[in-house]
Amino acid sequence: MVDKPKVLIIDDDKGIIDSLSSLYKDNGYIPSAVRTGNAALELASDNRFDLIILDIGLPDIDGIEILKILKTQRIAAPIIIVSGQASIQRAIEATRLGAFNVIEKPPDPAQLLLDSRIAVKQRSLESEVAKLRQSLLSQNDLIGQSESIGSLREKLKRIASTDSRVYILGEPGSGKEMAAKFIHYSSERATGPFVAVNCAAIPGELFESELFGHERGAFTGAIARQDGKFQAADRGTLFLDEIGELRSDHQAKLLRAIETSSVQRVGSPKDIRVDTRIIAASNKDIQRLTKEGKFREDLYFRLNVIPVMIPPLKEHLDDIPLLARFFLDDLGYGRMRFDPGAVITLQSYDWPGNVRELKNIVERTAALKYGDLITDSDIMESLAGTKGERDYTKPEPVTKPLSLREHLNRFEKSLMEQILKDAENNITKAAKLLKMDRGNLSKKLKKYGLTGH
């Protein structure tokens, strides 16, 4: 059963109150009425109304002042002004302050009901949009409570309130696309499309077709007209990742699209207007590339209206427990958990691959784990596998003083020493703290030349 909309009628004329109350009640509303401004403000602040009918000429407070106060208090109900004192000037002032409409007394019942239905429907739609935007944002929030992520989150919120172009710089895997999504879903464009394009992955000959679209027959294989990414992101956000990989001729065409807010499909001379917010990103120093003549300076300045730097994971290690927990849940391993040693091991690594590498390690560990408790040994085994992959793809210099395993062994020894100290050298107590089998702990202590009792 759909709830009946509630309407608050504010008028000092008892006859008007009675007639409007009957009108709204007969047409499916639940009316409430007051005859003074003070009573109206008290009632509106304590109750949720779907519509407010407001007279300007009240005995205690002018209706325009009431309108200002209600808007200041963020009362969401649409407000229709009904007054015998209505004039062009006052009507303009009322609508400027947020009134839905201004109607002169005596109001035409049919017109008043029509305006009321439209106002209530519009408010309902706005409420649904707000709920959808909040839901989308909650699914694309930045994970972390560290100072650096908190500062980044606040900056992105401020950016989202504008429609300016944004340039995101950060190391590979640091979360540039996640930051772009956060801006999009925090903005007025949240219910529009978010379209991500990896510029480095587009074959050169398909660049124009991918971004701007093409007409049927424009080239071999173009069997039908197709919209490009710009049109797909109309009234939304287009995220251009790895922007530094664009060829110079592609840079010129992208610059034109940004400057004119229009695109031309391949095979067509017609300009198509697009309302698309651009967020670009790169892990390269584009400013340096412009000085070297490898990137257009005019395009760089068009893209770099608001610069944003994403911190690498090694600068917010405190967020690792939250991130790792999020990845377990997101990957379908919600039943699993990390023991304290596993968390410390994760926070002791320098994460050259950033958040993306952390996600890979969590997924690898969870996929290969028997049981629900992930230990420090499980993490070290996964990290050792990562190190092996790096050795295979890119040999490390022979002069490197310590291997990853050696670093991890040093950390493990330090951890064992601290736990033994906390357990007063009692191996049984230490094993309980580490949630390990006493025999396995004894072997590790022997390995590192540590003793207990």
- From first to last of the 453 residues of the chain, give the pLDDT tens digit: 457 889 999 988 888 889 899 999 999 999 998 888 888 888 888 788 889 998 888 888 888 888 888 888 878 888 898 877 656 677 777 888 888 888 887 888 888 888 898 888 888 777 776 666 566 555 667 888 899 999 999 999 999 999 999 999 999 999 999 999 999 999 989 888 999 999 999 888 889 999 999 888 888 887 888 899 999 999 999 999 999 999 999 999 999 999 999 999 999 889 999 999 999 999 888 989 999 999 999 999 999 999 999 999 999 999 999 999 989 988 999 899 999 889 999 998 999 999 999 999 999 999 998 889 999 999 998 888 665 444 433 334 333 444 555 656 666 676 777 777 777 788 887 777 766 777 777 877 777 777 777
Domains of the chain: total: 3
* 358 and 442 housed in the same domain: yes
pLDDT (0 to 100) of residue 354: 94
Q: Which amino acid is at 221?
A: G
Is 48 in a helix, a strand, or coil?
coil
Question: Is residue 263 within 8 Å of 210, Cβ to Cβ?
Answer: no
DSSP string, 166-199: EEEE--TTS-HHHHHHHHHHHSTTTTS-EEEEEG
175 — alpha (psi -120 to 50), left (phi > 0) or beta?
left
Residues 244 and 369 both lie in one domain:
no
Contact 343, 321 (CB under 8 A): yes
What phi-psi label fits residue 72: left (phi over 0), alpha (psi between -120 and 50 degrees) or beta?
alpha
199 in the same domain as 303: yes
Other Cβ atoms closer than 10 A to 304: 16
- Torsion over CA of 400, 401, 404 and 408, rounded to 10 degrees? -170
Distances (CA, A) of 33 to 101, 114, 200: 19, 20, 64
Burial label, 73 (beta-carbon count in 10 A; 0-12, 13-18, 19+)? exposed
Contacts of 362 (CB under 8 A, 6+ apart): 324, 327, 328, 331
Pair 280, 165: CB distance under 8 Å: yes
Which pLDDT value is given to residue 423? Answer: 77
Q: How far apart are CA 84 and CA 103, in angstroms?
A: 9
- Residue 71 forms part of a structural domain: yes
Contact indicator for 338, 324 with CB cutoff of 8 Å:
yes
Torsion of CA 313, 143, 134, 189, to 10 degrees: 10
Residue written as tokens 């207007």?
273
Q: How far is CA 348 from the centre of its chain?
A: 29
291 and 344 together in one domain:
no
Tokens of 125: 């739609």
Q: Is residue 452 part of a domain?
A: no
- My answer on whether 297 and 322 are in the same domain is no
Instruction: State which of 311, 340, 367 marks the end of a domain.
Output: 311
Which residue among 262, 282, 311 closes a domain? 311
Specify the pLDDT at position 1. Answer: 43
Q: Give the structural domain span for 30.
A: 6-132
**Looking at the structure, do residues 179 and 231 belong to the same domain, yes or no?**
yes
Helix (H) or strand (E) holding 51: strand 51-54
Does residue 253 lie in a domain region?
yes
What does the alpha-carbon distance between residue 359 and residue 325 come to, in Å, rounded to a whole number?
A: 10
Residue 96 placed within a domain:
yes
Q: What pLDDT is stored for residue 136 in this prediction?
A: 55
CATH of the domain at 355: 1.10.8.60
User: Which of 290, 311, 332 corresponds to the end of one domain?
Assistant: 311
374 Cβ partners below 8 Å, 6+ apart? 336, 337, 338, 339, 342, 365, 366
The CATH number of the domain holding residue 258 is: 3.40.50.300
Q: Is residue 415 part of a domain?
A: yes
CA 33 to chain centre: 42
Domain for residue 215, yes or no? yes
Residue 22 structure tokens: 């009957």
Structural domain contains residue 1: no
Asked if residue 223 and residue 127 are part of one domain, the reply reads no
Query: Is residue 453, in this structure, part of any structural domain at all?
Result: no
CA angle, 402 as apex, 396 and 405 as ends, to 5°? 95
pLDDT of residue 411: 65
Predicted structure pTM score:
0.63
